[in-house]
Amino acid sequence: MAIAAVRTAAPPDVGEIVRIQADTWEAAYSSLVPAHAVAQLRGADAREAWSAAVEGGPGHVLVATEGEWTVGFCAAAPAVPPSATPEQAWGEIGALLVEPRWGRRGHGGRLLAAAAEALRAAGAIYGLAWVPEPDEASRRFYARAGWEPDGTVRALDTGSGTLREVRLTGSLDLKLQA
């Protein structure tokens, strides 16, 4: 059995991060997001953005590996508090994706736990993530960590419509459940 691990992303990981994001969005969200929007995830702008994030953005980019394979990634950073309580420190999970063929092996939980640890080390107490409203699998994943919808919804312009996302919030002192 291959060893599974999570580590900080390095510049050579950018290509795999771009590929995993585009492939996963294509598989999971093709009915929600137009093909041209997913195609942009494979473009030069996406690669530049991930390179900047990996090489010293304001947060943390982590990759999950199984043996020699990069199977998922997570991007986490400080967040603006979602309510009028600025004394509370928040972190945001900007992206957490595991390639579907590597799913159900604990990679997502390891990525979330490592991101939560990094955000707590930076002083955050609570976390938030935006998830497409119809994405029940991701909502269940965060619910197992104790994160729930807080009633806030945003609409993103996809270029041919809107994608509604719900905000999930919870403690960064995770209680991951099977």
What is the pLDDT, as a whole number, of residue 81?
Answer: 80
pTM summary value: 0.92
* First-last CA distance in the chain: 21
CA 81, CA 78: separation in Å to the nearest integer? 9
What is the pLDDT, as a whole number, of residue 86?
Answer: 61
What is the pLDDT, as a whole number, of residue 73?
Answer: 98
Helix (H) or strand (E) holding 137: helix 136-144
Structure tokens at 80: 């603006």
Q: How many residues are listed for the chain in this entry? A: 178
Which parts of the chain have pLDDT scores under 50?
A: none
CA 162, CA 131: separation in Å to the nearest integer? 14
Contact 150, 131 (CB under 8 A): no
What is the pLDDT, as a whole number, of residue 158?
Answer: 83
What is the pLDDT, as a whole number, of residue 80?
Answer: 81
What is the pLDDT, as a whole number, of residue 178?
Answer: 52
